[in-house]
């Protein structure tokens, strides 16, 4: 019986977002729209806000400032 091949870990599924082209005449409008959508998602709940700040490295998982932002 043949030996099963080793499986590689699957990549995370990432939602594709439209790429904003700075040379596009509609760039500023599209950027503002994307920023507004992000802000709405990021501030929907305190948990969502914490998750965004942790992901960006501003806060630790416990909610404290990360080393880069401490005085």
User: Tens of pLDDT along 26-45?
Assistant: 999 999 999 999 999 999 99
Cα–Cα dist 71/42, whole Å: 25
Residue 66 predicted with pLDDT over 60: yes
Residue 7 predicted with pLDDT over 80: no
Number of domains into which the chain is organized? 1
Q: Is 14 inside any structural domain?
A: no
Instruction: Kindly give, in sequence order, each residue whose CB lies less than 8 Å from that of residue 6, ignoring residues fewer than 6 positions away.
Output: none
Q: In degrees rounded to 5, what are phi and psi of residue 7? A: -95, 145
Note the pLDDT of residue 19: 78
pTM: 0.62
Q: Is 13 inside any structural domain?
A: no
Q: Is 4 inside any structural domain?
A: no
Residue 14 predicted with pLDDT over 80: no
Q: Is 21 inside any structural domain?
A: no
Residue-number span of the structural domain to which 39 is assigned: 27-69
Note the pLDDT of residue 46: 94
């Amino acid at each position: 019986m043949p030996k099963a091949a080793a499986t590689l870990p699957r990549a995370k599924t990432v939602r594709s977002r439209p790429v904003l082209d700075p040379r596009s005449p509609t760039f500023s409008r599209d950027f503002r729209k994307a920023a507004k959508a992000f802000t709405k998602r990021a501030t929907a709940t305190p948990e969502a806000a914490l998750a965004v700040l942790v992901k960006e490295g501003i806060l630790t998982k416990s909610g404290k400032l990360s080393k880069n932002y401490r005085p």
